[in-house]
C-alpha cells in the first residue's frame, strides 16, 4: 500500500479524496485566523506522499540551460548562504469552487467547495538569489521546472514550471521555503522544502522539491500540459486539444462567503453577520468586497481585514466581514459577495461564460441561500 505511511490529519477536514489525500477545512475555521493554522491548511496531493528518509542528506539540485556547473544544496546550505525572507502568501488550488461550476454544468475533478485556499507565512530563501549563486544566465532560459519527490506508478515525479521572468525576478518573491507559520513544514505541505510562487495557482508551487531545472521549454509533465488549462465554454471532451491552451499561472480575482452556511434561518430584522475571504492573483490587492442580501439588487461594502504589502506584491488574502439586518419579509433570500481588485477587475456574475470542462478557476459571484422566518 503506497498510502501506508500517511500522517494523521485534522478531524474537521472535509475529505474530497482519501488516497491520494485531498481535503479542505470547514469554511468557518478557514477564516477564523488570518494565518491558516498548519493543521487546517487545505491539502492537495496528486500522488502518495514521498518518504523522507533523512533530511540531513536531502539536497536540491539546480541545473539546466544557462547554468555551466549544476549545483546541489543541502538545507543547511540554503540557510547559511542566502538571506532568509518571510512572506505571507495565499495558496489557492485552481479547482477551488469547482462544486459551484458543476452545479452549472458537469465538469471533471475533485469536488472542492470554497476552502481549497489557505494563507500562511512562509520562511525560506528567494529563488532569484539561488539562481544568481548558481550563475544562471536568464537570457538562455524560457521556463524554470520544479520536480517533487512524489512519484506516479511509472516513477515519474510531480512536476510543473513557471516562466523564467517570474523565477528570476526578486520582486516576484518566488521562494524555496523550509518553514510554514514559523514551524517545520508538515509533510503534507512539502517537508523539507517547497516552492512558493506568490499570486500563482497552487499547481506550480511544488512540494518536496528536489530538482530545479532551467529549460527552453515548459515542463512536459501531465500537470503542465494536460491539466490546469482552461478552454472556452463550447469546448468539451470530444473537441478539446490541450496543446492549444496556455497553462494557468496567475490566479484571477476570487471571493467567497464562509459564514453563514446555506440553509441558516434568521428572524425578520435579525442581524446577519457575513464573513469570507477575497484574493486576487499576480500581486493585485483587494480594493473592495461588496455584499448583497437581495440577490444583487443593492450592495453593501464589507469591512476588510488585510495586511500591508507592497503595491503589486500583495500576496496575502483579505478577510472581510459585514453585519446587515435580515429583511422583514419572510422567505428565502440569496446572499452574494463579489470583490474588486486593485486593477478594478470584477468577478463574473455566473459560470455561463467561464465554464470549462475541468471546472478550473471558477470565480463567479458566490451565493448562499438562507431563510427568514
Positions touching Mo ion (CB under 5 A) are: 44, 93, 202-203
- Give whichever of 147 and 347 is closer to ligand MTE, judged by the CB atom: 147
- Give whichever of 93 and 256 is closer to ligand MTE, judged by the CB atom: 93
Q: How far is the C-alpha of 51 from the C-alpha of 38, rounded, in Å?
A: 20
Q: Which three cell numbers stand for residue 80?
A: 547559511
Minimum distance, C-beta of residue 95 to ligand MTE, in the bound complex (Å): 7
- Give whichever of 93 and 291 is closer to ligand MTE, judged by the CB atom: 93
- Give whichever of 42 and 168 is closer to ligand MTE, judged by the CB atom: 42
Q: Which of residues 88-117 bind ligand MTE (CB under 6 A)?
A: 91, 93
Minimum distance, C-beta of residue 41 to ligand MTE, in the bound complex (Å): 6
- Using DSSP's 3-state secondary structure scheme, residue 141 falls into coil
**150 near ligand MTE, judged by CB under 6 A:** yes
Is the CB of residue 361 less than 8 Å from the CB of residue 202? no
- Give whichever of 44 and 284 is closer to Mo ion, judged by the CB atom: 44
Q: Which three cell numbers stand for residue 314?
A: 500583495
Minimum distance, C-beta of residue 14 to ligand MTE, in the bound complex (Å): 14
Minimum distance, C-beta of residue 206 to Mo ion, in the bound complex (Å): 11
Q: Report the run of H or E that residue 80 belongs to, with start and end.
A: helix 75-81
Closest CA to 75 of 210, 166, 203, 170: 210
What contacts 352, CB < 8 A, 6 or more positions away? 104, 233
Is the CB of residue 347 less than 8 Å from the CB of residue 253? yes
- Give whichever of 66 and 192 is closer to ligand MTE, judged by the CB atom: 192
Residue corresponding to grid cell 498510502: 3
Q: Which residue from 47, 65, 304, 324 is in contact with ligand MTE, where contact means CB under 6 A?
A: 47
Q: Which residue from 158, 168, 231, 365 is in contact with ligand MTE, where contact means CB under 6 A?
A: 158
- What are the helix (H) ranges across 210-249? 222-225
**207 near ligand MTE, judged by CB under 6 A:** yes
SS3 labels along 306-322: CCCCCCCCCCCCEEEEE
Q: Which residue from 13, 42, 82, 251 is in contact with ligand MTE, where contact means CB under 6 A?
A: 42
Minimum distance, C-beta of residue 185 to ligand MTE, in the bound complex (Å): 9
Is the CB of residue 272 less than 8 Å from the CB of residue 326? yes
- Give whichever of 200 and 292 is closer to Mo ion, judged by the CB atom: 200
Q: Which residue from 48, 66, 192, 202 is in contact with ligand MTE, where contact means CB under 6 A?
A: 202
Is the CB of residue 211 less than 8 Å from the CB of residue 60? yes
Q: How far is the C-alpha of 94 from the C-alpha of 223, rounded, in Å?
A: 12
Minimum distance, C-beta of residue 120 to ligand MTE, in the bound complex (Å): 9
Minimum distance, C-beta of residue 47 to Mo ion, in the bound complex (Å): 13
Alpha carbon 156 to its chain's center: 23
User: How many CB atoms are closer than 10 A to CB 190?
Assistant: 23
- Which conformational region is residue 283 in: left (phi greater than 0), alpha (psi within -120 to 50 degrees), or beta? left
Minimum distance, C-beta of residue 201 to ligand MTE, in the bound complex (Å): 7
Q: Which stretch binds ligand MTE (CB under 6 A): 23-31, 106-114, 201-209, 339-347?
A: 201-209
Query: CA separation (Å) from 33 to 120, 161, 320, 359?
Result: 10, 31, 12, 28
Asked if omega into 215 is within 30° of 0 (cis), the reply is no
Q: Which of residues 181-200 bind ligand MTE (CB under 6 A)?
A: 189
Q: Which stretch binds ligand MTE (CB under 6 A): 45-53, 56-64, 210-218, 325-333?
A: 45-53
| Interface positions with ligand MTE (CB under 6 A) | 41-47, 91, 93, 148, 150, 158, 189, 202-203, 205-208
Amino acid at each position: 500500500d503506497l498510502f501506508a505511511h500517511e500522517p494523521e490529519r485534522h478531524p474537521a477536514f472535509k475529505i474530497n479524496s482519501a488516497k491520494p489525500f485531498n481535503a479542505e477545512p470547514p469554511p468557518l475555521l478557514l477564516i477564523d485566523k488570518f494565518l491558516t493554522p498548519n493543521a487546517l491548511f487545505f491539502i492537495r496531493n496528486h500522488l502518495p506522499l514521498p518518504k523522507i528518509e533523512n533530511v540531513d542528506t536531502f539536497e536540491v539540485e539546480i541545473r539546466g540551460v544557462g547554468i555551466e556547473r549544476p549545483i546541489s544544496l543541502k538545507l543547511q546550505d540554503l540557510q547559511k548562504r542566502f538571506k532568509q525572507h518571510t512572506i505571507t502568501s495565499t495558496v489557492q488550488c485552481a479547482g477551488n469552487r469547482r462544486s459551484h461550476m458543476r452545479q452549472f454544468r458537469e465538469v471533471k475533478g475533485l469536488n472542492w467547495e470554497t476552502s481549497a485556499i489557505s494563507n500562511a507565512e512562509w520562511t525560506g530563501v528567494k529563488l532569484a538569489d539561488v539562481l544568481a549563486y548558481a550563475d544562471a544566465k536568464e537570457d538562455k532560459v524560457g521556463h524554470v521546472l520544479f520536480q517533487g519527490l512524489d512519484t506516479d506508478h511509472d516513477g515519474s515525479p510531480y512536476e510543473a514550471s513557471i516562466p523564467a521572468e517570474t523565477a528570476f525576478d526578486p520582486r516576484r518573491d518566488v521562494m524555496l521555503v523550509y518553514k510554514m507559520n514559523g514551524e517545520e513544514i508538515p509533510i503534507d505541505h512539502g517537508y523539507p522544502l517547497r516552492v512558493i510562487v506568490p499570486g500563482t495557482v497552487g499547481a506550480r508551487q511544488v512540494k518536496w522539491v528536489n530538482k530545479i531545472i532551467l529549460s527552453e521549454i515548459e515542463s512536459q509533465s501531465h500537470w503542465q500540459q494536460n491539466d490546469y488549462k482552461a478552454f472556452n465554454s463550447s469546448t468539451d471532451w470530444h473537441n478539446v486539444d490541450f496543446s492549444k491552451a496556455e497553462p494557468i499561472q496567475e490566479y484571477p480575482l476570487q471571493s467567497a462567503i464562509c459564514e453563514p452556511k446555506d440553509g441558516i434561518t434568521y428572524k425578520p430584522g435579525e442581524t446577519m453577520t457575513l464573513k469570507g475571504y477575497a484574493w486576487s492573483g499576480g500581486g493585485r490587492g483587494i480594493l473592495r468586497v461588496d455584499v448583497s442580501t437581495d440577490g444583487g439588487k443593492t450592495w453593501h461594502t464589507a469591512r476588510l481585514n488585510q495586511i500591508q504589502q507592497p503595491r503589486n506584491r500583495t500576496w496575502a488574502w483579505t478577510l472581510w466581514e459585514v453585519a446587515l439586518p435580515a429583511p422583514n419579509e419572510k422567505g428565502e433570500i440569496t446572499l452574494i459577495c463579489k470583490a474588486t481588485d486593485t486593477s478594478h477587475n470584477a468577478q463574473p456574475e455566473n459560470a455561463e461564460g467561464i465554464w470549462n470542462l475541468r471546472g478550473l478557476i471558477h470565480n463567479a459571484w458566490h451565493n448562499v441561500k438562507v431563510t427568514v422566518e
